[in-house]
């Protein structure tokens, strides 16, 4: 099994031309040997076929970490797991989302504790 390096179509071994984009296979093969990674390289395929899809959960986690830290933390953890399956895509957003969520939660606890210490429980809850 071989693949067209111009459009990524799967070709039979004895095909001379790519039936999708019409590239002659001799050229395709030369380009593969010149600049493409070997097809045993699994991460190349993950990049090529799945890497184009955005890691939406990771992005949502990052956004929600500012709005609702608990939701942001959950989404970021899911996003980080997805990033592992997606060859690291969105990993930065996930980690940032997790950190921001945790920091936000700590800050809210500190703020809450501070308000209680200043105004007392009744003052805060009233």
The footprint of Zn ion (CB under 5 A) covers 4, 6-7, 9, 18, 20-21, 23
Closest distance of CB 46 from Zn ion, Å? 20
Closest distance of CB 9 from Zn ion, Å? 5
Closest distance of CB 18 from Zn ion, Å? 3
Q: Residue 22 or 37: which CB sits closer to Zn ion?
A: 22
Q: Residue 30 or 84: which CB sits closer to Zn ion?
A: 30
Where is 11: in which H helix or E strand?
strand 10-11
Q: Residue 18 or 75: which CB sits closer to Zn ion?
A: 18
- Angle value at C-alpha 116, between 111 and 118, nearest 5 degrees: 95
Closest distance of CB 56 from Zn ion, Å? 29
In angstroms, the Cα distances linking 25 to 31, 34, 44, 54 are: 10, 14, 20, 31
Q: How many helices (H) and strands (E) in the chain?
A: 5, 2
CB 59 within 8 A of CB 92: no
Q: Residue 7 or 103: which CB sits closer to Zn ion?
A: 7
């Amino acid at each position: 099994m071989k693949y067209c390096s111009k459009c990524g179509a799967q070709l039979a071994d004895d095909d001379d031309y790519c039936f999708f984009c019409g590239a002659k296979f001799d050229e395709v093969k030369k380009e593969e040997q010149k600049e493409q990674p070997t097809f045993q390289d699994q991460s190349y395929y993950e990049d090529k076929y799945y890497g184009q899809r955005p890691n939406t959960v990771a992005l949502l986690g990052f956004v929600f970490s500012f709005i609702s830290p608990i939701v942001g933390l959950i989404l970021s953890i899911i996003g980080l797991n997805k990033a592992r399956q997606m060859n690291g895509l969105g990993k930065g957003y996930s980690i940032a989302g997790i950190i921001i969520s945790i920091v936000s939660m700590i800050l809210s606890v500190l703020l809450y504790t501070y308000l209680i210490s200043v105004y007392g429980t009744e003052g805060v809850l009233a």
